Amino acid sequence: MPGRLRHLQTPLPGKTVEFVINGRKVVGREGDSLLTAILANHKAVRQSEFGDGLRAGFCFMGACQDCWVELSDGGKVRACTTLLEEGIHVSLPEPKL
């Protein structure tokens, strides 16, 4: 699934970091926030609970609480204020289309 964000510079500087979204291996870049890495590989972070729209984070600085994601260990983090780590497993709800 193509992501919502696109990097403007190619090839990208820095090290590639592998992580997993819903069991699918994907890559981000060292220094990316988890939200940036998710949205470069996935259309949305979650389904809106107030309507039929997809949500993709809003403020990118940890204030709006729109980017909470669940990790494979059951923990939850704000993706916009969490740095991408090698091997992290993220569980995202599948969007209802």
C-alpha closest to that of 62 among 75, 88, 80, 47: 80
CATH number of 16-91: 3.10.20.740
- More confident call, 56 vs 80: 80
Give the number of other Cβ atoms within 10 Å of residue 19's Cβ: 21
| pLDDT at residue 33 in the model | 93
The pTM (predicted TM-score) of the whole model is 0.80
- More confident call, 89 vs 11: 89
- More confident call, 11 vs 88: 88
- Residue range 11-68, pLDDT digits in tens: 666 789 999 999 999 999 998 999 999 999 988 877 666 777 776 777 777 788 888 8
Q: Which two tokens stand for residue 26?
A: 């994907």
Q: Which of helix, strand or coil describes residue 36?
A: helix
